[in-house]
Amino acid sequence: MEELRGVDLLPEPGEPKILSAIDPSTSGHESQCRAEVTGWAPIVPNALPYQPRRIFSLASGVVVALFLGIILLLWQSNLLLLQLPPPTSEWAFDESEIRELQSDGLSGEDVRVCMVDTGVSLTHTALGNADVEFKDFVGNSIEPVDYGSISHGTLMAGLLLSTGVQTGIAPNVTLGMAAALSADGENNTGSETRVAEAIRWCIFEFEADIISLSLGGVQDQSASREGPAVSATRQAVDAGIFVVAAAGNDGGGGDDGFVSAPGNVNLVITVGASDKNGDTWEKSSEGGLVDSDGNPRSYPHQKPELTAPGVDILSTGENDQWYTSSGTSDATVFVAGALSLILEAHPELKPNEGSTVSCIELVKRALADSMSTNMEHDSTDGYGQLKAKGWLDQVAVDTNC
């Protein structure tokens, strides 16, 4: 091209295919033009004086000390701890078909459940919406209080009523809590007379539909008369009130072959414990073949009647904490809670002034039929494992009692 005649073509550094047009007549182009036209020129850096870095100084030491002090303060106040939700026992609610009944809208509304236990503490946030009537047979407290070792009553109440991390079995029931047991070392104990008084409070003052007894004593086969707690339990079932009781935790090599009293009463629903795999808990008590009068037990009143989840069960504890526990106590609440949902669905089965034992017998037969199709019974497994939906379906076949 004519315009480029007389100019020099200078390749760019690093890119020889790119040529810059240089006018050789420009004064000093050899040293200036490349930098001014193309923006390329080596820059000689200015030297900086070397200053050695101090590893530690008084100021930095003060900062580190303040930082560590703040960390220690946060640690002691638990503000540094990440609050993770505890692992739930959701398997227990699924395996027992509780969640199926809840998905149908059942929550225990208008059902009255009475527990005889160590009392209850309602300071746990998961129990903030609970409807509880409290009666103290241990002390003189008007406000709800738990006298138990590891807050046993609060654990049992939480299984039924919790609305926190883990939704309870029947959170909308009205709960009557009769505090009749108290801590004795690691155990919870109470006199039979006190337990009997608490059961009668459930019957006559609280007017329970269901009495849940996560307790039990040894059956005295040589006694000429039954104990006060057994007598009060018979009084409850005779009035048409459903009683659910723990089979006991003396299974294994030391098992005496009898469920705990008052779970030995024929019309009581007596509950053993099972684990996550569906196996009966090794400490769940065995039931005898004859009743306290020496008569053979017959279907559907053989003991225990069933097992329910009772191993490593999560529930509400003290100081807003969550505890796990194992025992036929936990299993008892699962059955009492399932029965609460059934009575909500069929309020005609609830006790009234003219009630007899006929509705209890109907419901117990439906329970056994829902688990065992051939009337088979095992001395520790009962008729099978709790299946709340199957129990409700079996009850619905005939509610005429």
Catalytic residue set: 117, 152, 329
Cα angle: 318, vertex 322, 323; to 5 degrees: 90
Confidence band of 46 (pLDDT split at 50, 70, 90): very low
The answer to the question of residue 173 being in a domain is: yes
In this structure, are 30 and 100 located in the same domain? no
| 270 and 382 belong to one structural domain | yes
Of 42-46, 69-73, 296-300, 318-322, the range with the lowest mean pLDDT is 42-46
pLDDT digits (tens, 9 = 90+) for 203-238: 999 999 999 999 998 776 656 578 999 999 999 999
For position 103, which CATH number holds?
3.40.50.200
What's the confidence (pLDDT) of residue 157? 98
| Phi and psi torsions of 11, nearest 5° | -65, 145
DSSP letter for 87, please. P
Q: What six digits make up the tokens of 308?
A: 């329910």
What's the pLDDT at 294?
85
Number of domains observed in the structure of the chain: 2
48 within domain boundaries:
no
pLDDT attached to residue 164 = 84
**Residue 99 within any structural domain of the chain:** yes
Distance CA 370, CA 384 (A): 9
241 and 332 share one domain: yes
For residues 30 and 156, membership in a common domain is answered with no
228 lies in the same domain as 329: yes
Same domain flag for 33 and 113: no
Residues 218 and 363 in one domain: yes
Task: In whole angstroms, give the CA distance from residue 154 to residue 35.
Answer: 84
143 and 21 in a common domain = no
Burial code of 13-45, b = ≥16 C-beta within 10 A, e = fewer? eeeeeeeeebeeeeeebeeebbeeeeeeeeeee
In a domain, 65, yes or no: no
68 domain residue, yes or no: no
Domain that holds residue 19: 2-38
